[in-house]
């Protein structure tokens, strides 16, 4: 009997594995590489929404955990993934500038929005109205993190690289069984793959497809992330990431011509240099209607748990959400109502209530 089975080695699964390692629990992870969100992500973390200049849910608590969490992973995996980089929001109108300075005066946003107008000095960027700077921001190389974590799990014989088949899961009162594995708990961290999970797919995971371009620009020196209609993230040398689109109908991981054009149009609004597209990536963000994570225990089976709904902010939320879930399972500490899946209990089909077999 092991302690945990985990389904999915994206940002959510990795954060939960880290909780287990810290607490000396045994586990095995399944992943079939069916979802791409964590490996295509821009990897930015910033505590403010840059459209409306409002604070992000629980940002102070999440940022406090972020640096030590990614530092620990860097040391453990011998990689560099956390790049502290300022985010500069390009202003497109005087009204926007005014909104920014109004927002920077609010007590909750003061620590994160600089009240200085930054003038553009970069000859290859068009930004006549300047920028506002967000503080406490950066980028995590999520692709390298996921790759390195997969290798780490493989080296320790903790990873099965195949699809988890929900029909083969046997749920008992005291443990779950999957083929020859018995575990005290199972945690589902499948990102948008949740839609195929018959135990939890009553939850309103919407899924928002996003696409990005990897580009090379010869003469662009940028030591910050520039956010306009699209963002451009410096990756080192002449390499940059441009993203990201939001689409709600298409739920595939296939890049499209339409989104490529949309991204290029956004980029050309401020980039004066010529560039070369070297890659085009797509994934589905696990977004939820109320923009809060989906964390908690199944309404009927107390050995089944979920860590999902990280939306477009998995880098910041995952360590926070994983700790909360672990504490609720192992220490009986109640989850915050806003993230607990109990808020959707009315959506759980009543025909299953009281029945063991779904
Ligand atoms: C274009 C784009 C840009 C983004 N930019 C940012 C950003 O700048 N900052 C930020 O914080 N977030 C960003 N995100 C969001 C971020 O990527 C997500 O919040 C995060 O990756 C979700 O992690 P997850 O572990 O929940 O899901 P996923 O990364 O989707 O991982 C789920 C894993 O479960 C596996 N799986 C699913 N079903 C099964 C099964 N049945 N059997 C076995 N394995 C299974 C999948 O293969 C996958 O590896 C972006 C996302 C996209 C698409």
Q: 193-252, pLDDT tens digit by residue?
A: 999 999 999 999 999 999 999 999 988 999 999 999 999 999 999 999 999 999 999 999
| Residue 105 alpha carbon to ligand 1 centre in Å | 35
Atom of ligand 1 at shortest distance to CA of 315? 11
Average pLDDT, the chain: 95
What spacing in Å lies between the alpha carbon of 103 and ligand 1's midpoint?
A: 31
Q: In this predicted structure, what is the pLDDT of residue 352?
A: 63
What is the per-residue pLDDT for 207?
96
pLDDT of 51 reads 79
pLDDT at 52: 79
Residues 299-316: tens digit of each pLDDT = 999 999 999 999 999 999
Measure the CA–CA gap between 47 and 65, rounded to whole angstroms: 13
pLDDT at 180 over 60: yes
Asked if pLDDT for residue 354 goes beyond 70, the answer is: no
Which of 71-85, 179-193, 306-320, 340-354 shows the lowest mean pLDDT across its residues? 340-354
Give the pLDDT confidence of 30-65 residue by residue, as tens digits: 999 999 999 999 999 999 888 778 888 999 899 999
Distance, CA 286 to ligand 1 centroid (Å)?
7
Distance 146 CA to ligand 1 centre (A): 10
The residue whose CA has the least distance to atom 3 of ligand 1 is 41
Distance separating alpha carbons of residues 162 and 168, to the nearest angstrom: 14
- Per DSSP, the residues of 40-104 read H---EE-SEETTTTEEPTTHHHHHHHHHHHHHHHHHHHT---EEE--EEEEP-SHHHHHHHHHHH
Distance 189 CA to ligand 1 centre (A): 9
Q: Which helix (H) or strand (E) holds 242?
A: strand 239-243
User: Dihedral sign, CA of 262, 265, 268, 269?
Assistant: negative
44 lines ligand 1 (CB under 6 A): yes
Q: Work out which ligand 1 atom sits closest to the CA atom of 282.
A: 1
Q: Ligand 1 within 6 A of 13 CB?
A: yes
Report which ligand 1 atom has the smallest distance to the Cα of 231.
8
């Amino acid at each position: 009997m092991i302690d945990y089975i985990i389904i999915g080695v994206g940002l959510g699964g990795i954060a939960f594995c880290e909780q287990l390692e810290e607490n000396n629990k045994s586990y095995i992870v399944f992943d079939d590489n069916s979802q791409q969100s964590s490996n295509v992500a821009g990897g930015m973390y910033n505590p403010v929404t840059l459209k409306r200049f409002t604070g992000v849910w629980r940002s102070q608590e999440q940022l406090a955990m972020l640096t030590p969490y990614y530092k620990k992973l860097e040391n453990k995996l011998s990689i560099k993934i956390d790049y502290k980089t300022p985010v500069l929001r390009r202003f497109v109108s005087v009204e926007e500038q005014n909104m920014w300075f109004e927002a920077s005066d609010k007590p909750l946003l003061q620590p994160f929005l600089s009240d200085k107008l930054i003038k553009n000095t970069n000859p290859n960027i068009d930004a006549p109205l300047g920028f506002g700077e967000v503080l406490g921001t950066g980028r995590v190389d999520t692709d390298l993190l996921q790759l390195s974590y997969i290798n780490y799990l493989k080296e320790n014989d903790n990873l099965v690289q195949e699809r988890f088949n929900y029909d083969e899961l046997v749920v008992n009162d005291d443990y779950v069984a999957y083929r020859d594995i018995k575990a005290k708990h199972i945690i589902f961290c499948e990102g948008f793959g949740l839609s195929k999970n018959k135990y939890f797919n009553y939850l309103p995971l919407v899924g928002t497809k996003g696409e990005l371009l990897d580009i090379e620009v010869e003469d662009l020196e940028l030591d910050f992330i520039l956010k306009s209609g699209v963002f451009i993230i410096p990756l080192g040398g002449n390499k940059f990431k441009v993203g990201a689109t939001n689409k709600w109908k298409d739920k595939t991981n296939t890049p499209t011509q339409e989104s490529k054009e949309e991204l290029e149009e956004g980029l050309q609004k401020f980039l004066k240099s010529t560039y070369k597209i070297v890659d085009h990536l797509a994934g589905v963000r696990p977004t939820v209607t109320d923009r809060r994570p989906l964390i908690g225990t199944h309404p009927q089976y107390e050995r089944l748990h979920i860590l999902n709904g990280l939306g477009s902010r998995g880098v910041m939320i995952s360590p926070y959400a994983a700790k909360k879930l672990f504490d609720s399972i192992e220490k009986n500490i109640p989850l915050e109502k806003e993230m607990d899946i109990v808020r959707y209990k009315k959506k759980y089909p009543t025909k299953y209530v009281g029945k063991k077999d779904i």
